[in-house]
Structure 1
Amino acid sequence: MKPLLFNLDSDISLANALKDKLGADAGELDTRYFPDGESYLRVLSECNNRSVIIFCNLHQPNNKTLNLLFLASTVEALGAKRIGLATPYLPYMRQDKQFKPGECVSSRPFAKLLSSHFDWLVTLDPHLHRYHSLSEIYSLDSTVVHAAPMIAEWIKKHVKRPLLIGPDSESEQWVSDVAARANAPFQVLTKVRKGDYHVEVSLPQVEQWHQHTPVLVDDIISSGKTMLNTVQHLAAAKLATPVCIGVHGLFSNEAYDELARNATVVTCNCIPHASNKIDISEALADAIHAQL
């Protein structure tokens, strides 16, 4: 029996690509909001003894998580044999440590919440900083899809003589992997974060790279301050106009506009945006298929 894929408030084109690649049936839902703001959800598809995939991009998770749990609970009650979550962006991974007394380490309760409703999870490059793997906080089966091969392939096709630049020392292993796949040299910045919107970076010696195109690579572009600061340093060093690549383009406030005035901005199509140039559907579909 074909798996059933529900698209819950997420990118229609990516959901359709996954459905086609997986040979899945499209799940049908009736959703709306009552006048008091509460959610109504009804599953219209037959779920009994079927593998169910819920595709829900959890960017802006506070607006989506409740309906996600309602849907997972409903398909379980309807007899689904295995329920999985495919989310290109996994939120609440950056809150992985208590910096001040009383702070919520929100990655842990969020992981517990999802683990209690799903059998498996597929996501793309979650922000694993102080955790070595998702299994440290998630009790379901988890698969992490890595964007490095797709990013490297895009660089090889679109950038002549690239010089890859990582945002900080913690990015070295990841950026060096992309660089090796793209057959390109790389450098890593020294970064000091002084607040949510204040980041200082220092650039390694770049005089030897004036014939190269700088390619800044990071997992998340949120405020964009690290990249923007770096772009300004590159301009002062008279390097070529850089390319800024992010796996997840969150782009808070005016981050995208500020970057796009000074660089070419490219992201994976994890979160729908004008900068999407790198397609993740094939790799995501392969990881989902392995869970079915």
Structure 2
Amino acid sequence: MPTTLEPKLITGTANIPLAKAIARRMSIHRNLGLVNARVERFNDQEIFVEVYDNVRGEDMFIIQSTSRPANDNLMELLIMADALRRSSAKRITAVIPYFGYARQDRRAKARTPISAKLVANMLVEAGVERVLTMDLHAAQIQGFFDIPVDNLYASPIFALDILHQFKDTGLNDVMVVSPDVGGVARARELAKRINAPLAIVDKRREKPGEIAEMTVIGDVSGKKCIIVDDICDTAGTLCKAAEVLMEHGATEVHSYITHGVLSGPAVERISNSVMKSLVITDSIEPTDAVKNTPNIRIVPTAPLFAQAILNIWNGTSVSSLFETETLEPAYEGLYDL
């Protein structure tokens, strides 16, 4: 069996621009490109994958978010993993920037599934031997797998962006805000990185999708508030939280969200909201509407994923990428700090 000289990248159709950006980033130091393959849908929407390049004995990385349409993109990932396994790939790593079904991580009521666990089982059965993802909705999903899972964090990227955006006005009046009690740990992590205080918006729901009441815990008067969360779907909670913060005396409200699902009326809500800016990553390929919304800005994750893939392939530490200082060289040129 030949010795693996380079990591090999292959992509589904979920987020081709991100996959190309990762390959481009890795090709700075290595002559890397995406493995030649095709993903085809038959008339009945069955998915067919054909890999043209030889992958025998290779260390393969499949880049595929399981975002909308979640079921199609998940099936693509599973079928690609099966194709690579049957083609004698040495190791298959699923690079899933956005892990779909992550919000179904527990049984909230009787006779409901734990779909995140089911997805984990299917990935392993298809031949995936390692998973690389970012900002899992629930950290315990790593325990659903019996294979290694590397969960990257967007907070180092966000910290770099905040330091760049607020370098002229300073961080003295910046406050990090968690939009709910469950996201306090995530918000506290970012607050520590930029040395800012923390506030919480406590929300109560009468039923799913409807917010009955919001209470601000902490003094936000005269502050530039930065709301931090992992997922923005319909943006109802986010826009309402921004309004409540402004009502409590905040001077500006910005939001930093890892995964911009932005379904339904989300883009319209954000464009009409009191938020000065919404910053998302490209873990989910943005639509034209998202790209053209003036107060939505997209930060790249390709440098982070490219370095993580190289570290996995080299057998070096992935957790070193959790530190903002470690990522600064990877984002050199983008952020002049």
TM-score by length of 1: 0.92
Alpha-carbon shift at residue 142 of structure 1 (Å): 0.9
SS at 1:6 equivalent? strand
Matched, 1:7 2:14: no
SS at 1:203 equivalent? strand
Which residue matches 1:191?
203
SS at 1:164 equivalent? strand
SS at 1:26 equivalent? coil
Report the AA paired with residue 268 of structure 1.
T
Taking the aligned partners of 2:207 and 2:230, their CA distance within structure 1 comes to 19
Which residue matches 1:54?
62
Confirm or deny: 8 A CA contact 1:165 1:214 kept in the other structure.
yes
Alpha-carbon shift at residue 276 of structure 1 (Å): 4.4
Taking the aligned partners of 2:107 and 2:38, their CA distance within structure 1 comes to 40
Alpha-carbon shift at residue 205 of structure 1 (Å): 4.3
Confirm or deny: 8 A CA contact 2:17 2:285 kept in the other structure.
no
Matched, 1:125 2:135: yes
Taking the aligned partners of 1:194 and 1:287, their CA distance within structure 2 comes to 42
Matched, 1:144 2:151: yes
Confirm or deny: 8 A CA contact 1:269 1:276 kept in the other structure.
no
Taking the aligned partners of 1:225 and 1:149, their CA distance within structure 2 comes to 26
1:107-256 superposed matches below 5 A: 107-116=116-125, 117-128=127-138, 131=140, 134=142, 136-159=143-166, 160=169, 161-199=173-211, 200-206=213-219, 209-210=221-222, 212-256=223-267
Alpha-carbon shift at residue 64 of structure 1 (Å): 1.3
Taking the aligned partners of 2:297 and 2:54, their CA distance within structure 1 comes to 34
Which residue matches 2:307?
286
Report the AA paired with residue 10 of structure 1.
A
SS at 2:280 equivalent? strand
Which residue matches 1:85?
94
SS at 1:156 equivalent? helix
Worse-matched range after superposition: 273-282 or 66-75: 273-282
Which residue, 253, 278, 300 being the options, matches 1:265? 278
- CA gap of 1:276–1:76, structure 2 versus 1, over 3 A, is farther
Q: Deviation per CA, 1:225-244: give whole Å up to 9, x if none.
A: 22111111123234223111
Taking the aligned partners of 1:15 and 1:219, their CA distance within structure 2 comes to 21
- CA gap of 1:271–1:188, structure 2 versus 1, over 3 A, is same
- CA gap of 1:194–1:251, structure 2 versus 1, over 3 A, is farther
Taking the aligned partners of 1:73 and 1:162, their CA distance within structure 2 comes to 48
TM-score by length of 2: 0.80
SS at 1:99 equivalent? coil
Taking the aligned partners of 1:104 and 1:84, their CA distance within structure 2 comes to 26
Confirm or deny: 8 A CA contact 1:249 1:267 kept in the other structure.
yes
Taking the aligned partners of 2:231 and 2:144, their CA distance within structure 1 comes to 21
Alpha-carbon shift at residue 201 of structure 1 (Å): 1.8
Q: Which runs of no fewer than 5 residues in structure 2 stay unpaired?
A: 314-337
Report the AA paired with residue 123 of structure 2.
L
SS at 1:40 equivalent? strand
Report the AA paired with residue 270 of structure 1.
S
Identity of aligned residues (%): 21
- CA gap of 1:206–1:259, structure 2 versus 1, over 3 A, is farther
SS at 1:25 equivalent? coil
Confirm or deny: 8 A CA contact 2:236 2:269 kept in the other structure.
no
Worse-matched range after superposition: 253-262 or 53-62: 253-262
Q: Deviation per CA, 1:93-135: give whole Å up to 9, x if none.
A: 2112222322111111111111222011100010116x2x50x
Report the AA paired with residue 81 of structure 1.
K
Report the AA paired with residue 245 of structure 1.
Y
Which residue matches 1:19?
23
Q: Deviation per CA, 1:228-284: give whole Å up to 9, x if none.
A: 111111232342231111111111211232123221111112112223432222222
